Amino acid sequence: MILAYIVIKLHNIYKDTDNIIWVVMLSIALLIATDTWISFYGTNVKAFFDQYRFLFTFVPLVVFLAYSFIDRKRRKEQQQKIMIKQAFKQYLTPALIDEILRNPASLKLGGTKRNTTILFSDIRSFTTISEQLTPEELVEFLNDYLTAMTDIILERRGTVDKYIGDAIMAFWNAPVDEPEHVNMACMAALENIEALERLKMRPYWQAKGLAHPAIGIGINTGEVVVGNVGSLQRFNYTALGDHVNLASRLESITKHYGVNIIISDSTYQIVKDRVFVRTLDIVAVKGKKTGVKIYELIREPKSKEDILFHKTWTDAIGKYRDADFVGAQRVFTKCTELRPKDKSSAMYVERCIEFRKDPPGKNWDGVFHAKDK
């Protein structure tokens, strides 16, 4: 029984290699050795086996069964690792997959509450872009874009949840812990914008008139439910909750303010000493009554012009929050002169004009109620 088991095990090990001849040779050698031993010492062997019959029947059986059980358990663990790798290889980095494999208990079916940072990004005027490309060109364009954006998210240890056409949903700190999840998400967003600028310089994009696409990114941090959601036949590892919805809404309103990246106050408070922002507004997104502070995430300004603009903007937004609409209008107008294409500055000038005509009242809380998603 032991000889047969050894031969079978060796065959399983080497069946996919060129070393199968060694299995045959070793098997023959074992059989010849056993036969020779019995032939030369037949009587003594029989007497020895008769004397220790129980030992030579029970012990090998126990050893064989125990090893079989251990080997079966090992195979099941290997199959579980293969399953996890297959399930996560498309939206996790190899490093994160290795962490899950070291601690499979951290990944379980169903949902768990985790504090995560969620990112949504979307291409502006995608319909216009798609109309000027053939289906084949559109697929090539999307593959270029999504590959560049996804690589950055994965390098920053994020989890890519899904692609929704040209949109991307990603989150950090799940399924494995990432202490720097807020900063990682912010850096990924900034690098996404920079990567898009490099893509615009590609000859193919230039030739197809793709030198001007822009993207909007919304980032929010909070407790959500993460886990495998779907049917028994098909499911997706995703995040659900109000904080996910807010991140999506923040991505949408980047169009309203004419900026690339908007982060929520919950995100900003965690990384305020590590990132540079422009205070944008207090906004109640569609479907919500309570306002949240929002900020434009940008690289720290270096030029004198940029530094002057942000100093002027800070002065203007302070006057606006104090309901000094006359002073705010004057300073916001300076912002439009410093940056004629800044949509937020022009928007605030219009708001100040409206509030001067129709003051909001003493209980005004500065909240802007968004009407669109």
pLDDT at residue 237, rounded to an integer: 80
Q: Where are the domains of the chain?
A: 2-88, 108-300, 302-373
pLDDT at residue 333, rounded to an integer: 97
299: left (phi over 0), alpha (psi -120 to 50) or beta: beta
pLDDT at residue 68, rounded to an integer: 67
pLDDT at residue 1, rounded to an integer: 62
The Cβ of residue 114 has, within 10 Å, a number of other Cβ atoms equal to 20
Euclidean distance between CA atoms 124 and 45, whole angstroms: 86
Q: What is the DSSP string of 119-164?
A: EEEEETTHHHHHHTS-HHHHHHHHHHHHHHHHHHHHHTT-EEEEEE
Q: Which two tokens stand for residue 156?
A: 């920053």
pLDDT at residue 312, rounded to an integer: 97
Q: Residue 35 CA to chain centroid, in angstroms? A: 63
237 forms beta bridges with 228
Q: Is the peptide bond before 175 cis (omega within 30 degrees of 0)?
A: yes
pLDDT at residue 14, rounded to an integer: 56
pTM, entire model:
0.77
CATH number for the domain running over 108-300: 3.30.70.1230
- The one-digit pLDDT tens for each residue of the chain (373 residues) are 666 666 666 666 555 555 556 666 766 777 787 777 777 666 676 777 777 766 666 776 677 667 667 767 777 777 777 777 776 666 666 766 776 677 666 555 567 899 999 999 999 988 888 888 899 989 999 999 999 999 999 999 999 999 998 999 999 998 888 999 999 999 999 999 999 999 998 888 888 888 778 999 999 999 999 987 777 666 678 899 999 999 999 999 999 999 999 999 999 999 999 999 999 999 998 778 889 999 999 999 999 999 999 999 999 999 999 999 999 999 999 999 999 999 999 999 999 999 999 999 888 999 998 876 6
Euclidean distance between CA atoms 361 and 219, whole angstroms: 32
pLDDT at residue 90, rounded to an integer: 61
pLDDT at residue 41, rounded to an integer: 66
